[in-house]
Structure 1
Amino acid sequence: MVQVRLQLLIVVAALFFTAAVAEIRVTEIRSDGVSTIPLDEFGFTHMGQLELNLSQVAFSYPSASTKPDLSQVGFLLCTLESWIQVLKQITDGKITCSLESVAVKHVFTFDKFDKSQDDFYTSFSVTDPSQFTLVFANCVRKLKVSMKVRSSMYNFDAKTNFRDYLSAGKTNLPSIYFFFFLIYSALAGIWIYILYNKRLSAFRIHFFMLAVVILKALNLLCETEDKSFIKRTGTAHGWDVLFYIFSFFKGISLFTLIVLIGTGWSFLKPYLQDKEKKVLMIVIPLQVIANVAQVVIGEAGPFAHDSYTWKQVFLLVDVICCCAVLFPIVWSIKNLREAARTDGKAAVNLMKLTLFRQYYIIVICYIYFTRVIVYALETITSYRYQWTSVVAAELATLAFYIFTGYNFRPKVHNPYFALDDEEEEAAAEALKLEDEFEL
């Protein structure tokens, strides 16, 4: 009973922390005696449908003389609230199996399974709008089950005869991603225009910025097609491969750009110091690991055996990368502060110092918002409005791109070198006051 309760608690955790995924899923269960196996999750409207295709079904029971009660083995749909209710009923001793509870929707039990058939098909209509998890329950002790499960969940529109394989809260994602693709395409065009007109004052870093924007636009285009095909057919038809490829290059290029801007490379100095190169040597391999984790999580599904481990790996690697890119900015701030006191150009260095301080704060805000606030928004938002977390993350990223491009754009007349003596004196006084404040 303790083991059963532990497994039920694990399912509760999975229900709480997993975002709804939407596509046709194939899961293989091999000689598994676990009492509860969550398979997939979906946000249904009032016209939802679940289709199950079972093949290669086999049972292994130690007692040949006794037949297991297959009415205690089957599939069910449950919400987070109903599963907590099931857990309470089992804890109170009111029921011994989740399939006995009236709080869940019973899809199919194996006492109705025809062993003469190689494949078995069943469908189940969902008329109560909510976010449901498909769960396989095996309440017969020592019974091991093997089978291949093909689950297909979608919402149906009777007027258009259209199946929507995207969860109710994410059905708008193709349009959202395409909208942001158009925005980044426009930004790339604007940046090309700026580089052409300011080509004499453009540095290598500015062309790298253009590459980052283009990669972001291509990534959004692939994500648009990926979600569009899933919405219509339940599978990505290869667009997920392109999405992962551009996600890989986009992630590496963005973190590299933050490091290069933080060091002042190209527009402040033409080279990188050894410690700055080491940061890149740390960030780039970690981004490779993060993208491998993203691929595994996306392809294996939310409830696969290794999904939780890979999610932890992804979060750990992402946090390390986010912390690592802050060091070059801190080093630049420190160097500019020291230069402002020693090279006689207090105003010039004070302006640079102010810009890098602003950039440091913006990078921290961007990282905090996209990693913490967006996750919290996804967790607390109703399943119908899960698209809002995507919009929030994309708006924050767009604001970060615009801030970076505007503040580090190529300039023909550099304001750093157009300062008079009064501004120098004012800057020197400001630095003096800053030193007194720090003391």
Structure 2
Amino acid sequence: MAVVAARLLLLLAVAGALALPAAGEIKTESFREDPRPSIMFEKFGFSQSGAVRIVVSGAAVSSSFARADPKKLGFFLLSDESLVHAIYESQEGPTPEKRAAAAGGDDPDAAASGCVLSSPYVKKLFTFHDMEGGHYNKSFPVTHPDEYTLFFANCAPQSLVTMRVRTEMYNVNADGSKDYLPVGQAPVPAIYGFFAFCYAAFLASWGYLTLSRDRISAHQIHHLMSGLLVARLLYCLSAAEDQHYIRVTGTPHGWDVAFYLFQLVKGVILFAVIALVGTGWSFLKPVLQDREKKVLMAVIPLQVTANIAAAVIGETGPFLQGWVTWNQILLFVDVACCCAVLFPVVWSIRSLRETSKTDGKAARNLSKLTLFRQFYVVVIGYLYFTRIVVYALKTIASYKYRWVSILAEEVATMAFYLFMFYTFRPAEESKYFSLDDDEEEAAEMVLRVEEFEL
């Protein structure tokens, strides 16, 4: 049984590592003949005045092996630090002193079976033995500030669980009101609100540039870029409102629908803009080649699918069966989209390099080549930062500073937008690549050197 307990704890470790900090909203979920040995509900950062409320109704257990011991099914809280100790204990085996202490507790049978509920490193809340008629309703104070994950454990062999569970995790403010946002996400509504204001100012400046001052020089791609700014503005605004209402009431009041909608729109438009800018569409060439169209036909459906799946996962939570698998699939889809949008930039760089050898406009082509190389490097840096570095910040940062990863992502996104919009802003052809005779001769020498090196 010690091996079973070790595997269970390792499973909890994997699930906890993949789980992002929950919004802390009130959630209700039903389970029918669920065979899983563990179910993860929420991850929440508590202050010294935190609490967990669990309402269970219609609880029932069926087993083909024997009558399930109700003391082997229950709910518990587990911090990340305690999880490491619990895994180590399950692999090494408890000391005689710990075995004696566990056997002398309120559940010696669970201790003897190696059930996770008997571990001294978990905060057991209650078991099915404490229920009356399959119902339970109680709040549990959390006085030690830390980030905890709420789990349900089923240590009864070959047993199926049916129940309806309503969970609330919150901190209590000084005035007695409830704050349903984790400690580490307290500044998040203000962060999104600030960037919503920034994108509004950005959009106003860009609109003046494309619709007024340089309206004649604006191309179709510039209008699509305007749409990207609108989508990003609405995304930040809906995210701020979503987090605000969750903090106050525990539910998003419909703002989650707007949040997921604009998350989908801004994701699709962003990848489309990167791919189209990378091809030089509308400001260097009027049409797309077949291979470039295929990239867009692949990226856009993938982004739509990934965002719909992300909305489903976000609205259900880690207690969804196959939750870990879905997260792995979404990660793969996101990486695939990131790789796909780089191909048009690479193709443009190769095409400009080949053209520079034949058309006699060395300086103009060198300017374009340099421009697209810079864009390629910046896109790589942006995608790497928002996919790898931001995730690392979420993982390694203290639970009190989880908001730092959101701030870092928004700052990086704003910096990337500023670079892309400034570099490919509306301008007359002469302003883009106009060079004098001396620069033309210097560019020809550079291209000859590049050709020799290749």
Question: Into which bin does the TM-score normalised by the smaller protein fall?
Answer: over 0.9
Say which of 244, 257, 276 aligns to 1:228. 244
CA distance in 1, matches of 2:267, 2:338: 11
Task: Give the root-mean-square deviation of aligned CA atoms.
Answer: 1.8
Q: Is 1:54 equivalent to 2:72 in the alignment? A: no
The residue aligned with 1:139 is 155
CA distance in 1, matches of 2:31, 2:41: 10
Deviation at 1:49, TM superposition (A): 0.6
Secondary structure at 1:137 match in 2: strand
The residue aligned with 1:177 is 192
Deviation at 1:362, TM superposition (A): 0.4
Identity %: 47
The residue aligned with 2:31 is 29
**1:182-225 Cα distance to aligned partner (Å, 9 max, x none):** 10111000001111111111111111111110111001111111
Q: Is 1:189 equivalent to 2:209 in the alignment? A: no
The residue aligned with 1:264 is 280
TM-score by length of 2: 0.91
Secondary structure at 1:267 match in 2: coil
Q: Is 1:354 equivalent to 2:355 in the alignment? A: no
Deviation at 1:63, TM superposition (A): 7.6
Residue 139 of structure 1 aligns to which amino acid in structure 2? C
* Alignment CA distance shift 1:107-1:200 (3 Å): same
Deviation at 1:292, TM superposition (A): 1.7
The residue aligned with 2:380 is 364
Deviation at 1:119, TM superposition (A): 4.1
CA distance in 2, matches of 1:417, 1:63: 78
CA distance in 2, matches of 1:238, 1:82: 36
Deviation at 1:70, TM superposition (A): 2.5
Say which of 338, 360, 364 aligns to 1:322. 338
CA distance in 2, matches of 1:409, 1:163: 47
CA contact (8 A) 2:40 2:318 kept: no
**1:380-428 Cα distance to aligned partner (Å, 9 max, x none):** 1111111111111111111110001111111246235532221111110
Aligned ranges for residues 240-279 of structure 1 at < 5 Å? 240-279=256-295
CA distance in 2, matches of 1:392, 1:303: 29
Secondary structure at 2:42 match in 1: strand
CA distance in 1, matches of 2:360, 2:65: 90
Residue 333 of structure 1 aligns to which amino acid in structure 2? I
TM-score by length of 1: 0.94
CA distance in 2, matches of 1:99, 1:61: 19
Aligned ranges for residues 203-214 of structure 1 at < 5 Å? 203-214=219-230
Say which of 110, 116, 123 aligns to 1:98. 116
The residue aligned with 1:129 is 145
CA contact (8 A) 2:367 2:433 kept: no
Greater displacement, 173-182 / 32-41: 32-41
Say which of 16, 37, 40 aligns to 1:38. 40
Q: Is 1:71 equivalent to 2:71 in the alignment? A: yes
CA distance in 2, matches of 1:220, 1:111: 46
Q: How many residues align?
A: 433
Which sections of structure 1, spanning at least 5 residues, go unmatched?
none
Which runs of structure 1 show a deviation greater than 6 angstroms over 4 or more consecutive aligned residues? Answer: none
CA distance in 2, matches of 1:295, 1:303: 15
Which sections of structure 2, spanning at least 5 residues, go unmatched?
100-110
Secondary structure at 2:356 match in 1: helix
**1:134-181 Cα distance to aligned partner (Å, 9 max, x none):** 111233334433111101000111x22221111111121111111111
Say which of 283, 305, 313 aligns to 1:289. 305
CA contact (8 A) 2:279 2:348 kept: yes
CA contact (8 A) 2:18 2:324 kept: no
CA distance in 1, matches of 2:35, 2:289: 57
CA distance in 2, matches of 1:142, 1:17: 27
The residue aligned with 1:107 is 125
Residue 100 of structure 1 aligns to which amino acid in structure 2? S
